[in-house]
Every structure is written in C-alpha cells, then in structure tokens.
Structure 1
Amino acid sequence: MIVLYMIVSGLIPNPSIFRSNLTADLVFPDLHSPLIKPAPCHQAESSALLQLKKRFAITKFASQSSLSYTKTNSWNSSSDCCSWLGVKCDEQTGHVIGLDISSSQIYGSIESNSTLFQLSQLEKLNLSDNHFNYSHIPSSFAHLSRLTHLDLSGSKFSGEIPEEISQLSNLLVLDLCCNYDALSPPTNLLHFKQQNLGNVVQNLTNLQVLSLGYVNMSSPIPSALTNLSSLEYLCLLSTGVYGEFPIGIFLLPNLEYLNVGANQGLSGYLPEFHSSIPLQFLTLRSAGFRRNLPGSIGNLTRLIYLDLGYNQFKGNLPSSLLNITQLSYLDVSGNKLHGKIPLSIFSLENLSYMDLRGNHLSGQLELGMFLWSFKMLSVLCLSYNNLSLIIKPSAFNASLAMNITTLFLASCSMNEFPEILKDQDQLEELDLSNNKIKGTLPSWIYRKENLWVL
C-alpha cells in the first residue's frame, strides 16, 4: 500500500510529495548478504561513473531540497564503485544496476555522448532535483533498454522530449515532472510534440507511475491511457491538455493518485464510481469539469484528498460523502453547488481542510458545529455562499478544534463577532468581511500573536 503524504497549504498540491513514495525504491539500501562476497564493480563502469562526475560542478543552488548533499564525494578510483553512495550493483555480476544521484547539488549538462549511457545494465536511474543547465533530454536514454525506473523530475531539463523514450518498454516509473522556471506563473521547460504522448503510452504498457506535471503537451489526453491497467499514479498538472477527459481513466483498477489540475481547456464529468476503485488522491482543480457530483462519489472510501475546486459542478453536495471516513482534505470551492450543506458532512472527523467558498450553498448553521465536529480542522472556508452563520455559546468549548489557522467567513450574514474564537491561539488568517457585525472589536483579538490577516 502506498503511503499518502499531502500538502494542504497551497491551492494546488505539490505532486512530488505523493510521487516520492511511489519512487522510493530508487534510493538503494545496502542489501549485501554477509554470507556471499559480492562481485566487484566492472572497471569500465567505474571509469564511466568517474568521467560522469568530472563533467559536473557542485553548487548548493542546483538542488532545492533542504536535505540535499553531494553523493558523488564518495566516488574515487581507490574504492569499489559498488560501495559508492547512490550506486547499486548486482551482487553476482558486479554490473551497476541502480544510480541514485538525486538532490546531489549537481550542475552541468548531459549530452548524448555522456558516459552515463555506457551503463548498459542500469535498471533504476534517479537524477531528480539537480540542475542540468537546460540541456535537452538525450535520445541516448534509449540505450538503457533495461530501465524500469527513470526519474528526471525537477532538474532543469528543457526542450522536446525525445520519441526514443518510448523504446524503454520495461519502464514502470517515468517521472519528468516539475522541470520549470519558478516564475509567476511557472514557465514549463519540457514539451511533447503533438500526439507524441500517445505514441509513448502505447509502448510503455507496464507503467505504474506516469508523472508529467508542467510538461507542455497542448493536445488531447490520449485514450491509450485507459489501457494502462497497472497505472497507480498519473499526474498531468498544468500540461495544457484539452478536450474531453477520457472517463475510463477514473476507472483504472489500480489508480490511487490522479491530478489533472490547472488545465482549463479540459472538459469532462465524473462517472458512476464503484467501491473497488482505489483512488486516494483526486484533484481536478481548474480543469473544466461539469454536471452534478454523483452520489456514488461516496463509494471512494479510500479517498484522503479531494480537490474539485474551480470547475462547473452544480447540484447538491452529496450526503454520501459521510462514507469517505478517511477524508482529510475537501475543496469544492468556486463551483455552482447549491442547496444545504448536508449534516452528514459533520461525520468526517478526520477533515483538516474544508473549502466550500464561492458556491450557492444556503441554510442556517452554527459556527460551533464546525469547530466541535472536526477536531483536526486547521482550515475552514465558507465565504461567499448564501449561508447564515449564527454564533451561540457552545456547551462543548472544551472539545472544540483548537488548531484553526485559517478561517474565511466573508458574506455569511453574521451579526456578531464570534466569541467562540477567543481561545483559538493558532489563528493566522481571519476574514469576516461583508457581514453585519456591529460594535467594538473584542480586546482579545489584539492578543492573537499568530494573527497576520484580519
């Protein structure tokens, strides 16, 4: 089972967090048996690695991770390359079968004649979180025909993704995510030729992880993706894909993570879900989805993270949400949902983030219900609906959620300042604008040391 980690501080989650758990086996443990003397590293492969090391400079700015360090410092001609950090060898043959130099503060280009491509027995290669100086991904990667794992994410590769990648028919993991310049908005550095993604997908039929966030595609999503029955992780975040979303992707039998957010040219709708669907993470934020939220969404009982914000969903919030008992993150903001908030939603005891703002939800609710029902709650956004929030002294003050950092209650027809917030010491952002509050601000609001937005 894949362990799901989430970022709840941003509007669009960082896909690399969940992805890193799927690709964790690109970091190689010491598996040497004390009973069998491993075969030594091949001299030609040791030399190839040392030549690779010479081509790069080491500089801290080349890696973004605060945990980065220079793995290649341990590489030298006086020791067996199988003992070097980031290098894994086959114990029987001595061939290098794994290379993980991720987050190694490497700066420089990789050319098609790089000695990296002499490591013909490589099965797992992780070059993520370095700075390869905007070099193109060499077509020579096709020479590494045994690769099952290829991670080039966040490493400042640029240009067109070579078709030769499709020749790596053994790939289980292909991660080209997050090669961008961090401007506002980010500038994507990699791109596929139109239709090339379809060609790649048709050949890589064993894929379990396909991570292409921030890769420019500017094409429809190929229907061939619906044939990848082993796929567990799919990220097409901010790729410029457009057209109707293939509904069969939702129904893939092993898919746990799906992110197609920030693709405003997409359109689509949610299918009828059945209980065997293993989705844990689903974000369709700003992706042009429409129609009602189906009641069968409650069959996604493994969901932990659900972001449907800024689409064209309408109708009611399904009461079947109560079945998703593990749900921690719920965002349906910026849609056209209407009707009352179903009381069943207050059964979701694990919610830490709930954003319902910018819909047409209506009804009268007590603010204390949210703070009492959701003990883990840190973010609550109800602004700009047709809600009427009432403030009552709560008999459950001792049991209120005490980790609230963000509370957006603009335009909620509130008549008084919520005294219930007096003991919320973690509060950082509070929006009570466009209400009907009269009188004087309570003195305790000035003692909120963490409050920076009011």
Structure 2
Amino acid sequence: MKTHIAVATSLLFLCASLITPSLSAFLCHPSDYNALMEIKNALNNPYHLASWVPNTDCCGWYTLQCDETTNRVVELTIFSGQVSGQIPSAVGKLPYLTNLTFRKLSNITGSIPRSVTNLKNLITLRLSWLNLTGPVPDFLSELPNLTFLELDFNQFTGSIPSSLSKFTKLLALHLDRNQLTGSIPESFGHFSGSVPDLYLSHNQLTGSIPKSFANMDFQRIDLSRNKLTGDASVLFKPNGSTQIIDLSRNVFEFDFSKVKFPRQSLISLDLNHNSLYGGIPEDIVNVENLQFLNVSYNRLCGEIPTGGKLDIFDSYSYFHNRCLCGPPLLKCK
C-alpha cells in the first residue's frame, strides 16, 4: 500500500512540474526576470505589458529581446501605449542592455534614473516624446559605448551639460524640442572620435556659435528656433562633408557673401528668419546636390545667382529680403 502511495505521489509531482515549470527551466536569466517584474510593478502593471506573465519565460515577452547565445535581455522598447509613472530605476538591473527605449508615452514623467549608468553595454538610449523634466543629467556621459542619444520632445530645462562631449562613439545627439537655456557648450567643438549629428532646435538657447566649432565637421546640424546670435559662418567648410545645416529662426548676423560651401556634400540649407546681410555667393551654383534652400526673411541684397541647382528654387526661397532681385524675384533695376 505504501508503495502505491509513493508512486502516486511521484506522478502528481511530475505532472505539477510539467504544468508549472520552475523559473530555472526558463531561457530567461533569473536576475533579468526579477528586474522586469520590478519594472512592470513600478509602471502599475499596464496592459501594454500584458505579455509579461509571472513564472513564464521573459525571452518570449513582447517589447523586449534576448540574446540568442546568452539569453540575457539586450533590448527593451516600451513604445506608444497607456503607460504612466516614472522610468523605473530597475532598468539599471539589466546589465546586458544595448538598446533602451521609452518613446511616445506622454504620461511618463520625472527624471532619468541614475541607475542607467550601470548599463555599460548600452549603445542606443531613446527617451523621447515623454514628459521628462529637470536638467539633462550630467551622468549620461558615463555610458562609454553610446552611439545614439535621443532626449527630444520632453520638458528638460537648464543648460546643456558640457560633459556630453566626452562621448567618443556618438553618432547622433538629439536634445531638440525641450526648454533648454544658456549657450551651446564650447566643449561641443572637441568631440573626440566620431562627430555626432547635432540636433538642438526648438529650445531657448542664447549666445553665439562656439569658436571651437571650427574644429568640427558636422554632417547634420540643426540649431533652428532658438535665440542664437552672431556669426555662424564657421559652420561652412568648403572641404567639409556637411549635408544639412538648419539655422532658421535665430538672430544670426553675418556677411553671407563671404561664405564658401561644401560643394559635393551639401543637400539642405535653411537660414530663414535671421539678419544675414550681403549677397548670395556665386559659389552656391557649384553645389552639386543641393535639394533645399531657404534664405527668406533676412537683409540680403543683390542679384540672385543663376545656374546649377539654383534654378529649381522658387520665390519662397528668397522673399522678404532687403533688396534681392532677379529670377525668380523681380528683375534687378
């Protein structure tokens, strides 16, 4: 009788283990699993994370990805859902993350947790279209492998940390669409390694372009819709590789006629709503791939050059200047 009872007990235990496998049987690493459970609880168990079912393999959950070799969580993307709260500090307990994204979540508030500095493998950090507040954290420069930093469409205030120039692998820096004040850090002219695309538009930045920018060959730079002043001609490098320059809606004031353009690389140039004076340089007709031009609402004078790509632009590119003339505007007198 005892033998029958022992056999029956063993069978019941075996069935139970098959129905409810232990966490150790999962592919997901236990410490990653625990961190994800903390993140879900901190975000008040939103429906967006409904696939994050306790005691199941986290490598099968939506919004994240595990490495096929190590089974560690390497990507976490929480995007466009009904999620509220603050970015949980538990994200710093996922040490193998290479990509961390919180995006288009208007009910995510507060600041960036310092625990993100534990993520030394992080390559991409996208915290955009949220409602994050406070200063842009200086400690972000402690992420040595970062190649893409996107903090746009938030409510960050204060000045831009000069320490962000310490990145050596950064390819793009997005700080646009915030409420940042102060000047552009002089250190941004001293990026070592790669030179990042720089997006600082739609802030309240003041002052002039740092002189150190003479050292930098930005491929894409957008400083539009700020309160920047002075001479921005340092951004134009005839032997450079700049593709896009947008300086529109600032208070820049310099002699545009003296500018030399990167003839092979320049694609888009937007200088509208500034105080540029002088004329349009003849050299602009030699820019081989120019697709967009806007110098309207300045104080330019003289005849508009003709030829090359310039012939594709209409009056919208030139109107509201002091005395520009010639096609596509009125004839010169």
Aligned length in residues: 300
After superposition, give the CA deviation of every residue in 1:165-194 in whole Å (9 maximum; x if it has no partner): 443341332211122xxxxxxxxx2113x4
CA distance in 1, matches of 2:315, 2:303: 20
Query: Which residue of the other structure, out of 167, 192, 200, is the alignment partner of 1:260?
Result: 200
**Residue 379 of structure 1, CA deviation:** 8.8
8 Å Cα contact 1:208-1:230 kept in structure 2: yes
After superposition, give the CA deviation of every residue in 1:75-99 in whole Å (9 maximum; x if it has no partner): 999x987677765443344x2x3xx
Paired residue for 1:325? Answer: 264
Q: Which moved more, 1:235-244 or 1:331-340?
A: 235-244
Match status 1:294 vs 2:233? yes
Q: Percent identity?
A: 21
| Higher RCO (Cα < 8 Å, 6 or more apart) | 2
* Aligned CA distance change for structure 1 residues 224 and 322 (closer, same or farther; 3 Å): closer
8 Å Cα contact 2:63-2:78 kept in structure 1: no
Paired residue for 1:107? Answer: none
1:237 counterpart SS class: coil
Paired residue for 1:91? Answer: 68
Query: Which residue of the other structure, out of 78, 83, 91, is the alignment partner of 1:141?
Result: 91
Q: Which has the larger radius of gyration?
A: 2
Give 1 or 2: higher helix fraction. Answer: 2
Paired residue for 1:178? Answer: 129
8 Å Cα contact 2:117-2:140 kept in structure 1: no
CA distance in 2, matches of 1:92, 1:322: 49
Match status 1:358 vs 2:297? yes
**Residue 230 of structure 1, CA deviation:** 2.6
CA distance in 1, matches of 2:318, 2:239: 24
8 Å Cα contact 2:238-2:263 kept in structure 1: yes
8 Å Cα contact 1:351-1:376 kept in structure 2: no
1:344 counterpart SS class: helix
Paired residue for 1:244? Answer: 183
Letter of the structure 2 residue corresponding to residue 204 of structure 1: L
**Residue 157 of structure 1, CA deviation:** 4.2
CA distance in 1, matches of 2:60, 2:312: 45
**Residue 318 of structure 1, CA deviation:** 5.5
Match status 1:41 vs 2:18? no
* Aligned CA distance change for structure 1 residues 87 and 310 (closer, same or farther; 3 Å): closer
8 Å Cα contact 2:175-2:199 kept in structure 1: yes
**Residue 343 of structure 1, CA deviation:** 0.4
8 Å Cα contact 2:182-2:207 kept in structure 1: yes
Query: Which residue of the other structure, out of 125, 132, 155, is the alignment partner of 1:190?
Result: 132
Aligned pairs for 1:203-242 (under 5 A) are: 203-242=142-181
**Residue 213 of structure 1, CA deviation:** 1.0
Letter of the structure 2 residue corresponding to residue 163 of structure 1: P
8 Å Cα contact 1:233-1:256 kept in structure 2: yes
CA distance in 2, matches of 1:210, 1:296: 22
8 Å Cα contact 2:187-2:212 kept in structure 1: no
Q: Which moved more, 1:379-388 or 1:340-349?
A: 379-388
Letter of the structure 2 residue corresponding to residue 252 of structure 1: F
2:106 counterpart SS class: coil
CA distance in 1, matches of 2:106, 2:300: 44
CA distance in 1, matches of 2:84, 2:238: 44
Letter of the structure 1 residue corresponding to residue 206 of structure 2: L
Match status 1:155 vs 2:95? no
8 Å Cα contact 1:303-1:324 kept in structure 2: no
8 Å Cα contact 1:41-1:89 kept in structure 2: no
CA distance in 1, matches of 2:279, 2:257: 10
* Aligned CA distance change for structure 1 residues 83 and 146 (closer, same or farther; 3 Å): closer
CA distance in 1, matches of 2:173, 2:112: 20
Paired residue for 2:209? Answer: 269
* Aligned CA distance change for structure 1 residues 388 and 132 (closer, same or farther; 3 Å): same
CA distance in 2, matches of 1:376, 1:143: 54
After superposition, give the CA deviation of every residue in 1:430-451 in whole Å (9 maximum; x if it has no partner): xxxxxx9xxxxxxxxxxxxxxx
1:336 counterpart SS class: coil
Letter of the structure 2 residue corresponding to residue 383 of structure 1: F
Please tell me the root mean square deviation across aligned C-alpha atoms, in Å.
3.8
After superposition, give the CA deviation of every residue in 1:178-220 in whole Å (9 maximum; x if it has no partner): 22xxxxxxxxx2113x4x612x234334432221112222211
CA distance in 2, matches of 1:378, 1:152: 41
8 Å Cα contact 1:272-1:294 kept in structure 2: no
8 Å Cα contact 1:136-1:160 kept in structure 2: yes
Structure 1, gaps ≥5 residues long: 1-38, 59-70, 98-121, 180-188, 392-408, 417-435, 437-454
Give 1 or 2: higher strand fraction. Answer: 2
8 Å Cα contact 2:280-2:302 kept in structure 1: yes
8 Å Cα contact 2:263-2:288 kept in structure 1: no
CA distance in 1, matches of 2:297, 2:169: 37
CA distance in 1, matches of 2:152, 2:257: 30
8 Å Cα contact 1:273-1:297 kept in structure 2: no
1:335 counterpart SS class: coil
**Residue 284 of structure 1, CA deviation:** 0.6
Query: Which residue of the other structure, out of 307, 312, 322, is the alignment partner of 2:251?
Result: 312
8 Å Cα contact 1:123-1:147 kept in structure 2: yes
* Aligned CA distance change for structure 1 residues 379 and 349 (closer, same or farther; 3 Å): farther
**Residue 349 of structure 1, CA deviation:** 2.7
Structure 2, gaps ≥5 residues long: 1-24
Using the size of structure 1 for normalisation, the TM-score is 0.56
CA distance in 2, matches of 1:144, 1:43: 10
